Amino acid sequence: MRLFRAVRDRLARAALRLLVDKPSPRLHLMKVGSEACGWTVPASLITEGSVCYCVGAGEDISFDLALIDRCGCPVYGFDPTPRAKLHVERVAKNNPKYHFAGIGLWTADVPMKFYAPRNPAHVSHSITNLQHTANFFVADCRRLSSLMRSLGHNHIDLLKLDVEGAEYGVLESILADELRVDVICVEFDQPAPLRRTWKMIAALNESGYRAVYAERWNWTFVHERMM
């Protein structure tokens, strides 16, 4: 069964990679952050004046901090997981450009259950209960449009989503609200039907987003107005 899942996963990723466009060299794609938790981003589009939201901190915010170090821009981090809060407190407490809130991102401003991973050594919890577990905690969540209003932002230069299955609802809300988000880095967490991921990428394409990079289930999209 494990071999079957691995083969299915590889075939699904190969099929989806057909949707990745050849990026323009002027985007200057580069890996930012640690090897395990870094993301490939268009460095030419992120400057000191950029607004970056990183949703899903876990216990590695090397990407968030590298954006600050490389670009000098403020980064807004969000994660309600208790261990994530402790990690951020430990490594970024005194960083004036890192702004953290222990809340989740969802399709509405409501409290939601976050279900634990099967392996207690893992940190990430899931609103959609990806791993079908019983234990959970409850945390406040915000719709992105509402969160942006409260922070005084009318656009986001870069949005990173590592939200354990909630990415589909969040992305749909972004498109429905016609938010200006220039770059989206998103992990399509598994398991998920290939058709669902394909449809989500197609919806992003229809709204002007172009996939410029994909590594396993981590995808980087850039809106065509920035190309």
Domain at 110, CATH number: 3.40.50.150
**Contacts of the segment 188-192: beta carbons below 8 A, 24+ positions apart:** 188/217, 188/219, 189/126, 189/130, 189/163, 189/164, 189/165, 189/217, 190/9, 190/130, 190/217, 191/130, 192/165, 192/168
| Reported pTM | 0.93
- Residues 118-163 have pLDDT tens digits of 999 999 999 999 999 999 999 999 999 999 999 999 999 999 999 9
Question: What pLDDT, on a 0 to 100 scale, did the predictor assign at position 53?
Answer: 99
**Across-strand partners of 40?**
31
> Structural domain of residue 159, as residue ranges?
2-226
pLDDT band at 76 (very low <50, low <70, confident <90, very high): very high
Number of structural domains found in the chain: 1
Question: What pLDDT, on a 0 to 100 scale, did the predictor assign at position 12?
Answer: 72
Q: Which residues of 167-206 are buried (b: 16+ CB within 10 A; e: fewer)?
A: bbbbbebbbeeebebbbbbbbbbeebeeeebeebbeebee
Mean pLDDT value across the chain: 93
Q: If 0-12 CB within 10 Å is exposed, 13-18 middle and 19+ buried, where does residue 54 land? A: buried
Question: What pLDDT, on a 0 to 100 scale, did the predictor assign at position 89?
Answer: 96
Cβ atoms within 10 A of the Cβ of 66, count?
A: 18
- Residues 16-75 have pLDDT tens digits of 777 787 778 889 999 999 988 999 999 999 999 999 999 999 999 999 999 999 999 999
pLDDT band at 223 (very low <50, low <70, confident <90, very high): very high
CA distance 114 to 37: 21
Question: What pLDDT, on a 0 to 100 scale, did the predictor assign at position 193?
Answer: 86
Question: What pLDDT, on a 0 to 100 scale, did the predictor assign at position 204?
Answer: 98
Residue 14 has pLDDT above 80, yes or no: no
Question: What pLDDT, on a 0 to 100 scale, did the predictor assign at position 3?
Answer: 61
Question: What pLDDT, on a 0 to 100 scale, did the predictor assign at position 151?
Answer: 98
Question: What pLDDT, on a 0 to 100 scale, did the predictor assign at position 22?
Answer: 79
- Residues 81-107 have pLDDT tens digits of 999 999 999 999 899 999 999 999 999
Average pLDDT over residues 111-119: 97
pLDDT band at 192 (very low <50, low <70, confident <90, very high): confident
